[in-house]
Amino acid sequence: MTAEKTANPLRTVVNILSPLPLVVLVGAYFTNNLTINPIQTATQRAGDIAIIFLLLCLACSPVNTLFDLPRVLKLRRPLGLWAFYYACIHMLSYVGLDYGFDFAFFNRDNADKPYVYVGLITLTLLSALAFTSRRWWKVKLGKNWKKLHKLVYLAGAVAVLHLALVIKGNLLELMGDLWKPIAAGSVLLAALTLRIPAVKTWAIAQRQKIRAARALKTQNPSLQPTALDHPAPAGEVRVAEKVLKSE
């Protein structure tokens, strides 16, 4: 483990908390506390957890853009890997527990279920990303590594499509219990929107304006008497004044 890795306690928290849903799921499965159809429920829950991790992974960049928290960016790899692990558990639960790894039966039974193919595409994308997530690949692929890992957005979009198809089976006739695909799709859309350069620049400017206003308030003792105890850094105030003047 490198020094850079040990320096982020958030990552440790993520890696300690992330297996807990699996522990709860396995516990509920083996104590018969998983509804009347435990295999289907286990598959569904693992799928839900996988997509949540994937969306959390996609939310890291927007969170940094909005709140200037670069440490959060370091969580993208562990969150993405946990999404991949839970997606594997989800797939294994379906293929293994439901079909007993009988692939001939699996193929026959799923031939008319497009969402299964869409799930397979998602898992293939996540596998490629997980496999190349190691530092060695980053160095080997150079600039192409970043391009390759933008595929995480495609994986997110295909995962949302998989979820939407599962809920109704036909995207064009979507009705009924839609809150899951709508919620997941909204998070994905927000993450994608904040990647648009113009939107990102605007969001950062707004963040800096707010910070600038706070820094100026902190510098002015008449506005905030306790500020003398916690003066804002001079550099921050200069940036703040510049930003406010440019308004």
Q: Which residues bind ligand HEM (CB under 6 A)?
A: 40, 43-44, 47-48, 50-51, 54, 83, 87, 90-91, 94, 116, 119-120, 122-123, 126, 159, 162-163, 166, 180
Nearer to ligand HEM, 180 or 211 (CB): 180
| Smallest separation (angstroms) from ligand HEM to the CB of 22 | 15
Type of residue at 120? L
| Smallest separation (angstroms) from ligand HEM to the CB of 33 | 18
Nearer to ligand HEM, 47 or 78 (CB): 47
b/e map of 101-131 (b: 16 or more CB within 10 Å)? eeeeebeeebeeeebbebbeebbebbeebbe
Nearer to ligand HEM, 34 or 123 (CB): 123
Nearer to ligand HEM, 91 or 240 (CB): 91
| Smallest separation (angstroms) from ligand HEM to the CB of 105 | 14
| Smallest separation (angstroms) from ligand HEM to the CB of 41 | 9
Tokens of 185: 């799709």
Number of CB atoms found within 10 A of residue 64's CB: 17
Report DSSP letters for 211-245, one per residue.
HHHHHHHHH-TTT-GGGGGSPPPHHHHHHHHHHHH
| Smallest separation (angstroms) from ligand HEM to the CB of 132 | 17
Q: Are 216 and 244 in contact (CB under 8 A)?
A: yes
Alpha-carbon span 107 to 103, nearest angstrom:
6
